[in-house]
C-alpha cells in the first residue's frame, strides 16, 4: 500500500520535473500517468498492492473533485454575469462531442469489420 502510493507519487514527481524541464503543455500528473503505463507494460501488469491502491483511490475519485469545485464561490460574480453563455456552451458542445465521437466510432468500426476475412466475398 505504502509502496504503491510511493510509486504513484514518484511517477507524478518525475512527470512534474519533466514538465518543468521541457515546458510541455501537458500537466505533470498526466506525464506521470504515461510513465506508469510504460512501467506497467514493462512489468507485465500492476502488482496486487498497486491494483488495490489504484482501485481504492479511484473509487473515491468523486470526493477529490469537491474542494476545487467549492472554489466556484470565489467566482460567483463571473459565473452570474456569464451564466447564459456558459449554459449554452456546455449544452451544445457536450452534445456535439458525444455525437461526433459516437457516430464516427460506429462508422469506423463497421467499415473495419466489414472487411474482416470470412465476410468479404472473394472475387
Tell me which residue has cell 506497467. 40
- Could you say which of 3, 17, 22, 79 contacts other proteins (CB under 8 A)? 79
- Contact assessment for residue 46 and residue 54, using Cβ atoms and an 8 Å cutoff: yes
Burial of 18 (0-12, 13-18, 19+ CB in 10 A): middle
For the chain, the first-to-last Cα distance in angstroms comes to 59
Rounded Cα distance between 47 and 44, Å, is 9
- Could you say which of 21, 77, 84, 116 contacts other proteins (CB under 8 A)? 84
Q: How far is the CB of 21 from other proteins (least distance, A)?
A: 15
Where in 59-78 is the site for other proteins (CB under 8 A)?
Answer: 61-75, 78
- Could you say which of 77, 112, 114, 119 contacts other proteins (CB under 8 A)? 112
Binding mask 1-40 for other proteins (x = CB under 8 A): ----x--xx-xx--x---------xxxxxx-xxxxxx--x
Q: How far is the CB of 22 from other proteins (least distance, A)?
A: 13
Largest CA distance in the chain: 68
Where in 42-61 is the site for other proteins (CB under 8 A)?
Answer: 45-46, 50-51, 53-55, 57-58, 61
Amino acid at each position: 500500500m505504502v509502496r504503491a502510493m510511493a510509486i504513484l507519487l514518484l511517477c507524478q514527481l518525475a512527470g512534474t520535473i519533466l514538465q518543468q524541464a521541457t515546458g510541455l503543455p501537458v500537466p505533470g500528473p498526466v506525464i506521470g500517468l504515461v510513465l506508469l503505463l510504460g512501467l506497467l507494460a514493462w512489468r507485465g501488469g500492476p502488482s496486487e498492492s498497486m491494483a488495490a491502491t489504484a482501485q481504492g483511490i479511484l473509487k473515491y475519485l468523486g470526493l477529490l473533485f469537491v474542494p476545487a469545485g467549492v472554489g466556484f464561490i470565489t467566482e460567483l460574480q463571473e459565473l452570474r454575469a456569464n451564466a447564459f453563455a456558459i449554459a449554452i456552451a456546455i449544452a451544445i458542445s457536450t452534445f456535439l462531442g458525444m455525437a461526433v465521437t459516437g457516430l464516427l466510432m460506429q462508422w469506423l468500426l463497421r467499415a473495419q469489420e466489414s472487411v474482416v476475412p470470412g465476410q468479404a466475398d472473394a472475387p
